Structure 1
Amino acid sequence: MATGTSADKARRAHPVRQAAKAGRIPWALGLPATVAAILAVLPLGYLAVRALEHGPRYAWDIVATERTAVLLGRSIGLAAVVVAACLVLGVSLAWLTTRTALPWAGGWAVLVTLPLAVPSYVAAFAWLSAAPQLAGFAGAALSLTLVSFPYVHLPVAAALRGTDPAQEEAARSLGLGPVRTFWRVTLPQLRPAAAGGSVLVALYVFSDFGAVSLMRYDTFTRGIYTSYRASFDRTPAAALSVVLVALTVALVAAEARTRGRAAYTRTGTGTARPADRASLGKWLAPSLSWCGAVTAAAVVFPLGTLGYWLAAGDSATWDPARLAETAWATLGVAAAGAALTTVLALPIGVIAARHRGRVAHLLEQAAYAGHALPGITIALSLVFFAVRYAHPLYQELPLLVGAYAVLFLPVAVAATRAAVLQAPPVLEDVARSLGRGPWRVLREVTVPLAAPGVAAGAALTFVVCMKELPATLLLRPTGMDTLATRLWTETGVGSFAAAAPYAAALILLAAIPSYLLGRHRT
């Protein structure tokens, strides 16, 4: 005998989807997600409290100075130059490797993404040791450009592969030449991808500490660090951090306003036909030279410089025991940071993928709060928190691991959310209909289904934790060094031969999970 209407049956058959539509979040997800969100927004609370600790006028007197104006101009100028250079490199290389008959195009496409594995301070170390006269703006701009142009190249190359060539062919049939077709038809379609990559590059420049410190070029991040070290009063450092956060928010808002509601999509059905690769003709040799020059400057030169200094080192500069100890400490703290970040990201990623509503949206947005803050600002906030409210944690390992979690929570949340979205929700519905509670559904169904994607996010988090510098400098326990901090210390006193083993070990250890991650995604 039939019982209930079809709508009633649907509600009973799909309790997870009905709860998601209603915005109800099970406590098994909501409680840990709330804890993670509070940890993520803690730095913003610190900035508000610390910057206004002595009153708004005191904070304004710190900000409204010639030094702040100089730091602002230097940071914006450096970001503008690096973004412009990355646009030239990223768009040109993307075009050559995806739309032309460039010999060994696939190999070049891989080579020009490898700079992502080179930390900015390693690139700065390589150039500074080979050409000390580059110290300053030129060296900082060169180092940051060569490690960050893949942020533009990757999305632009993806856009070129996904763009239907029919519009370009129509323009050519109407008499437009190759150059005019590129500027009037192709380039406007690449605008969203290029703009998004440019914002990532600018944010990277604003938050960079290693390259500008080694090149001795004062920007906001170096100014904040200097202010922190020069005085027991942390208010000036917090006030400068607020300006940097405001600059970051303004940049993101400007990009969103410029992008507007523009969309560049196909209106037909089916799959876009791949574009015919254009013959380079007389431009073949210059194109190969261009790809070779960029690869040589961004990949070969840093590795060659490390090889030179490794060969130049002797028993007076090499300390294998200390290198092994530092490498082991780096692996341990990076593993702890990746583990905590993944655990905190899991409930937020599941909520973002399976639930809708204001609470779910707020939790997801809170997780991304650390993305707008440089590592040095997050480190300052956690120092303030530990000194005021949790003194036993000050300069202890848990505080450093917590900083990694705040900094890189967006990386793990994005990976978890994508992995959960790919898992069939009907299996969770079946588990709930069989009497499983939310916690058991998460543990026995959701997590196993999303495990590969979550593991990939954890591997990526592990890599970025290994390379992190400013937060590690401020928060590491007394007597503990990582490869990044040891490299920074040695290069700061000009001991390039002593720094080379730490740089080489860092790249080697970071390359292993990066390679495994690349194989997983291919």
Structure 2
Amino acid sequence: MTSLSLSQRRFRRIRPNWLAVAALLPMGLVALPLIYVTVRTLQTGLAGSVAELFRGRTAELLVNTITLATGVMVLSALIGLSVAWCVERTDLPGRRAWRVLAGLPLAVPAFVSSYAWASIDVAFQNLAGAIFILALSSYPLVYLPVAAALRSTDPGCEDVARSLGHGPWRSFTHALLPQLLPALGGGALLVLTHMFAEFGALALLRVQTFTTAIFESYELQFDSASAALQSVVLMLLCIPAAWAEMRLRGRRRVSRSGRGSARIAQPLRLRRATWPVLGAFGALGFLSLGVPLITLAWWLAHGSSAGTGMAQLWPAVRGTLSLATSGALLTSALAIPLVLLSVRHRGPLAQFAERLPYIVHGLPGVVVALALVYLSIRLAPALYQGVAVLLAAYAILYLPLAQSSLRASVELVPPQLEPVARSLGRRPFMVFLTVILPNIAPGIGAALALMMLEIVRELTATLMLAPTGTVTLATEVWMYTVDAEYAAAAPFAALLVLVSIVPVWIFTRRMLYQAP
């Protein structure tokens, strides 16, 4: 036992050369937006940067961005926490079905929900409407981790609180809520970073934030200094949120009062509150899922632009699937060395490999695309408007999600397998191919599925970087909705929802559907 422990410790100190080299590629790729912002800021000069950052327009965008992101985060946290608690800790009728249905709004991309609401009435095209609509789309990002935490926490702490004379509300705030804070905080910060990065939904709802302003600056003045400096402010907002999210994710732990204890909390009886709670759940389901789907169905059957652009339907499906498959394969492949380095080895390089993608995670696609446009034109003109640049943007945007999917599988592989394989004469890279890769195959599959789902719905980077003639379902929805041709956009939006709903359903069931 002692020799095995020493061998494992020695293995953690020996970092294979191929792994270090392989990890440098995604790390360099992820650093490109940071390099771009730094270079453009230096080129503008101190006086120009100060003048741009402190003008009235920048202050207006800052207020709008913070108001929107904070409002959506708070409302999503309230809805997600309330729904999770009702589903997991009460005798809500049909809670097994509600457990899955509450996560399904994730299947409707935010810009599709915004398209649906905006096509109903222009009254929703303002900041308040955007907060309302985006919270309905985003609350599952809070609900899912909080519900999972509620199913894992030991109710013993709550029992102790009640035995001390605390009522239900005080028991919740003093005994249960502290156990939920990592999941609740992590979900809320994830919503916050998503809102900093949101573009399509806000453009359709006529709300000006840094993302929409950067895109407009890019379109009006190709690669303008204004867009670059607005990106600086957005990065300053995103980096602390992404860092805090990463820290909370690493601290998620569930404790029980006794070893091996698996006692399930007795559901709280709603009694007279049953029908009001059911009514609230029905209203939430109608607003978050029913309105977008009913609106899509209506536009499919009505509207003067119905049938327009149907010739592009198959090219859009083909373009979506080809880009999603290629992007998912590349992103997952780049994530593997990062995860292996951070899990199996210690040191500054391993820490940097783990944290850098999360730092850039909050950046919107518009900033990443702007960086790749600028750098490709100056350093590799032959790559500009090529598929390779677009796939690089997908990798930068979604590496953290691939890392999260792979990490659990890598951690389950016993560390002693690798030194044993090396002792049999196999070289480090062959150990990876024959021992590690087969064991982490389930995690790779999960990462591929998640990457494909995200890339299918990606809009901003695809709009800015896709080669001429390339169309996707997301870009076609955008093209028709900005021209108010809602019926023409409906088939593309409906296909987007259909593509998304199956993996979201499976993911939600696997995460939460365990009958008590």
Tell me the TM-score range normalised by the shorter chain.
over 0.9
- CA offset at residue 183 of structure 1? 3.0
Deviates further, 457-466 or 51-60: 51-60
Deviation string, structure 1 residues 151-207 (Cα, Å, up to 9, x no partner): 111222122222222222222233332233223332333233222211111111111
Partner of residue 438, structure 1: 428
Partner of residue 486, structure 1: 476
Partner of residue 130, structure 2: 140
| Whole-angstrom distance in 2 between the partners of 1:402 and 1:367 | 13
Go from structure 1 to structure 2 and tell me whether the alpha carbon gap of 1:18 and 1:313 turns closer, same or farther (over 3 Å shift). Answer: farther
| Whole-angstrom distance in 1 between the partners of 2:246 and 2:324 | 34
Amino acid at match of 1:96: C
CA contact (8 A) 2:196 2:363 kept: no
Amino acid at match of 1:453: G
- CA offset at residue 133 of structure 1? 1.8
Partner of residue 76, structure 2: 86
Go from structure 1 to structure 2 and tell me whether the alpha carbon gap of 1:233 and 1:500 turns closer, same or farther (over 3 Å shift). Answer: closer
User: Percent identity among equivalent residues?
Assistant: 43
- CA offset at residue 265 of structure 1? 4.0
Q: Secondary structure at the match of 1:52?
A: helix
2:111 to 121, 125, 141: 121
Go from structure 1 to structure 2 and tell me whether the alpha carbon gap of 1:479 and 1:264 turns closer, same or farther (over 3 Å shift). Answer: closer
- CA offset at residue 321 of structure 1? 2.8
Partner of residue 382, structure 1: 372
2:296 matches 1:306: yes
| Whole-angstrom distance in 2 between the partners of 1:502 and 1:466 | 12
CA contact (8 A) 2:453 2:500 kept: yes
Unaligned runs of 5+ in 2: none
Q: Secondary structure at the match of 2:481?
A: helix
| Whole-angstrom distance in 2 between the partners of 1:254 and 1:382 | 27
- CA offset at residue 291 of structure 1? 1.1
Deviates further, 297-306 or 160-169: 160-169
Partner of residue 307, structure 2: 317
Deviation string, structure 1 residues 133-152 (Cα, Å, up to 9, x no partner): 21111221122101111111
2:412 matches 1:422: yes
The TM-score normalised by the length of structure 2 is: 0.93
Amino acid at match of 1:229: E
Go from structure 1 to structure 2 and tell me whether the alpha carbon gap of 1:446 and 1:46 turns closer, same or farther (over 3 Å shift). Answer: same
Partner of residue 166, structure 1: 156
CA contact (8 A) 1:119 1:467 kept: yes
| Whole-angstrom distance in 2 between the partners of 1:349 and 1:250 | 22
2:384 matches 1:394: yes
CA contact (8 A) 1:460 1:514 kept: no
CA contact (8 A) 1:199 1:251 kept: yes
- CA offset at residue 299 of structure 1? 1.2
2:459 matches 1:469: yes
Go from structure 1 to structure 2 and tell me whether the alpha carbon gap of 1:403 and 1:414 turns closer, same or farther (over 3 Å shift). Answer: same
- CA offset at residue 68 of structure 1? 0.6
Deviation string, structure 1 residues 117-143 (Cα, Å, up to 9, x no partner): 211100101111112221111221122
Partner of residue 326, structure 1: 316
Deviates further, 321-330 or 251-260: 251-260
Deviates further, 231-240 or 62-71: 231-240
Partner of residue 450, structure 1: 440
Unaligned runs of 5+ in 1: 1-5
2:10 to 18, 36, 42: 18
2:210 to 210, 215, 220: 220
Go from structure 1 to structure 2 and tell me whether the alpha carbon gap of 1:295 and 1:341 turns closer, same or farther (over 3 Å shift). Answer: same
| Whole-angstrom distance in 2 between the partners of 1:514 and 1:187 | 27
CA contact (8 A) 1:126 1:302 kept: yes
Amino acid at match of 2:11: A
- CA offset at residue 366 of structure 1? 2.5
The TM-score normalised by the length of structure 1 is: 0.92
- Number of positions where the alignment pairs a residue of Structure 1 with one of Structure 2: 512
Amino acid at match of 2:83: L
1:503 to 493, 496, 513: 493
Amino acid at match of 2:293: L
Deviation string, structure 1 residues 465-518 (Cα, Å, up to 9, x no partner): 111111111101112111111101111010000000010111112334445556
Go from structure 1 to structure 2 and tell me whether the alpha carbon gap of 1:164 and 1:450 turns closer, same or farther (over 3 Å shift). Answer: same
Q: Secondary structure at the match of 2:471?
A: coil
| Whole-angstrom distance in 1 between the partners of 2:296 and 2:445 | 31
| Whole-angstrom distance in 2 between the partners of 1:393 and 1:240 | 26
1:149 to 139, 149, 159: 139
Partner of residue 3, structure 1: none
| Whole-angstrom distance in 1 between the partners of 2:238 and 2:163 | 44
Computed over aligned residues only, the root mean square deviation of the Cα atoms, in angstroms, reads 2.4
2:168 matches 1:178: yes
| Whole-angstrom distance in 1 between the partners of 2:243 and 2:440 | 33
2:233 to 243, 262, 270: 243
| Whole-angstrom distance in 2 between the partners of 1:338 and 1:181 | 45
CA contact (8 A) 1:352 1:417 kept: no
2:331 to 341, 355, 364: 341
Amino acid at match of 2:452: F
CA contact (8 A) 1:128 1:139 kept: no
| Whole-angstrom distance in 1 between the partners of 2:181 and 2:333 | 36
